[in-house]
Structure 1
Amino acid sequence: MEHVTKQQLIRRQSTVWRALRAAAPQTIPVLAGYFVLGMGYGIYVQSLGLPVWMPMLMGTVVYGGSLEFVLASLLLSAFSPLSAFLMALMIQARHLFYGLAMLERYKGYGLRSFYMIFAMSDETFSITCSAEPPEGVDRGWFMFFITLLDQFYWVASAGLGAVVGSVLPFSTEGVDFVMTAMFTVIFLNQWEKDRQHYSALIGLAAPLVCLAVFGSGSFLLPSMGCILILLLALRKPIEKAEGTEAEKNGEEVGA
């Protein structure tokens, strides 16, 4: 009995090790991206005067990428749980669809499934959607290690950035602009990918109007409410515009 149990343990360790070795190369591009962005995030959090361990804690518990940049500044602002909740929901709403899309793929892996759904970032989603484990490699452990390694890269890079930020010999004043730059790049990338720009224009116009009406201290919640209402009200025209643009692109390709 002990011999059988020992054999099973060795076989299990071998399965896990093979999955880790197969998953690691898939995550190298994520490591490169997370190292730069995570370092910037750690330095940014440190420039706000937050504890050096805060980036690693948020990277472990929240693990929300762009949301973590926002939360860092929210920690220093007036306590407003509703505003924080709505902000997090709007920034991370796409993850609801990620989870739905991966329900079948993650089914049957026990506690690993819960962790993989929790730690599903944009990059992890793109890898686990397309990557196939090599022959003889357990799929569940393969996807688990892709997810685990990606989060480890982010937490480690953020922690390293915080440490570097705490010992930098020069002023980190202005580092908080990294958040503005990041969201600007995200917006421009989304603008290029979208077939229509109504939603982007709504996202620009509503906050500007609310800023003028409510002032800089209380325009956030009205802005998010206006964006949500306008997107729901104009859903059909936006979808129609997307379909029309897709048809035009198809005709151009056919020509």
Structure 2
Amino acid sequence: MIIEALKDTKPTAFGYLLLGAAFGVLFQSLNLHWIFGILMSTLVYAGFAQFIAIPILAAQGSLFSIAIATFLVNLRHIFYGIAFLDKFKYNKFLKSYLIFGLTDESFSIINAKKPISARKYEATIIILCHIYWIIGTFIGIFMHKELLGVNINFLFFSLVALFAILTVDTFKLNKDIFSLAAGISSYIFFKVIGVKEVLFFSMLLSFFIIYFKIYLSDHDEEKNIIG
């Protein structure tokens, strides 16, 4: 189980180590004790919301401002939680942590293995992804001095590449053309009309499109059974 989880999280490990390192480098620019950077990646674990928190902290902004920014950036996780309600209810001991640790990447990996109902596998994926992020942060914090003056913006492209890899892997396993088309079409639609929160609204629309399709399919099956 652990070997399989390690294999499935290889692309995520690469992306998280790079992005975690980028966060660690930027966090050290605040001149705060390094332990707070590690604690933030351990207890907050919010991906790009942590990057958003850095300029707010630099400007001595309030914790409330950081909380609101984090909530808005990670609002899409509501849909992840809805999709995994049945999966996580069996992990009663780890349920709270699994909800906390669910990210875009871990969601994609677990969802790709939907036919496999393995509670330990799901928990292992989430734990491993969290560890990758913490290790990446640790590396960035202690490489801060060596990377002074180096433009690290190129590291952020690793997240785009990571999403592309996970999308292709998921499609290879599920062959779900409808869901893929719904996601791409929704994104293009909101991008064209100039909506700022493109990701959130495209996910919202995709959710309702797929839900409506599933509802119609179940309704037709019920009719056939009754008939």
Same fold (TM over 0.5): yes
Show structure 2 runs of 5+ residues with no match: 165-182, 210-227
Contact (CA 8 Å) 1:191, 1:197: kept in 2 or not? Answer: no
Q: Which runs of 5+ in 1 are unaligned?
A: 1-18, 205-230, 232-237, 244-255
Shift of the 54–81 alpha-carbon distance from structure 1 to 2, 3 Å rule, reads closer
Partner of 1:226: none
* 1:195 equivalent in alignment to 2:174: no
CA RMSD of aligned residues (A): 3.7
Distance in 2 (alpha carbons) for counterparts of 1:192 and 1:41: 32
* Contact 1:133/1:139 (<8 A) preserved: no
Name the larger-Rg structure.
1
How far is the alpha carbon of 1:21 from its aligned partner?
A: 2.5
Q: Deviations over 1:49-103 (max 9, x none)?
A: 2322232211111111100111122222233344323211110000111111101
What's the offset of the Cα at 1:20?
1.9
Aligned twin of 1:68: 50
CA shift digits 1:104-124 (9 cap, x unpaired): 011111222221111001100
Task: Name which of 130, 134, 149 aligns with 2:128.
Answer: 149
Q: How is 1:164-203 mapped onto 2 (pairs within 5 angstroms)?
A: 164-165=143-144, 167-168=145-146, 171-172=148-149, 178=153, 194-197=187-190, 201-203=194-196
d(CA) in 2 for partners of 1:24, 1:133: 19
Q: CA deviation at 1:199?
A: 8.1
- State the distance in 2 between where 1:89 and 1:143 align: 24
- TM-score (norm. length: structure 1): 0.60
Please give the alpha-carbon distance, in whole angstroms, between the structure 2 residues aligned to 1:200 and 1:152. Answer: 39
Aligned residues: 183
Among the aligned pairs, what percent are the same residue?
A: 25
C-alpha distance in structure 1 between counterparts of 2:10 and 2:118, whole Å: 19
1:88 aligned to 2:70?
Answer: yes
Find the aligned partners of 1:74 and 1:124 in 2 and give their Cα distance: 28
